[in-house]
Amino acid sequence: QVQLVESGGGLVQAGGSLRLSCAASRSIYGNNIMAWYRQAPGKQRELVAGLSSGGSTNYLDSVKGRFTIYRDNAKNTVNLQMNAMKPENTDVYYCNIVAYSRSYWGQGTQVTVSS
């Protein structure tokens, strides 16, 4: 079992930056995928950025060049650096790890970008 705890959400002005961090309760070994999703009220959860254990990344088109996903194996974290933020980036962001044939989710953290 893996527990995920997110941090780093909050309020930021348009053009500003935030870094989200997701701490896993244990080290993640083997093939895995770490990702950040977002979800607006009444809408489906949407992939923002993903990172495979092999180092491959993929991003939502609208965040390419502004957001960066990276992991810190020493701290068991997966992070999302968000730069040049826009009001449309406002959402609840969720951390997800697929490992050991299971999918694990964090509790979500609110990100609000003011214009």
DSSP code, position 2? -
* pLDDT given at position 30: 87
Q: What pLDDT, in 10s, does the model give residues 56-76?
A: 999 999 999 999 999 998 999
Q: What percent of the chain has pLDDT over 70?
A: 100
Q: What pLDDT, in 10s, does the model give residues 15-46?
A: 999 999 999 999 988 899 999 999 999 999 99
Q: Is 7 exposed, middle or buried (0-12, 13-18, 19+ CB in 10 A)?
A: middle
DSSP 44-89: --EEEEEEETTS-EEE-GGGTTTEEEEEETTTTEEEEEE-S--GGG
The yes-or-no verdict on residue 79 having pLDDT over 90 is yes
When pLDDT is cut at 50, 70 and 90, the band that residue 6 belongs to is very high
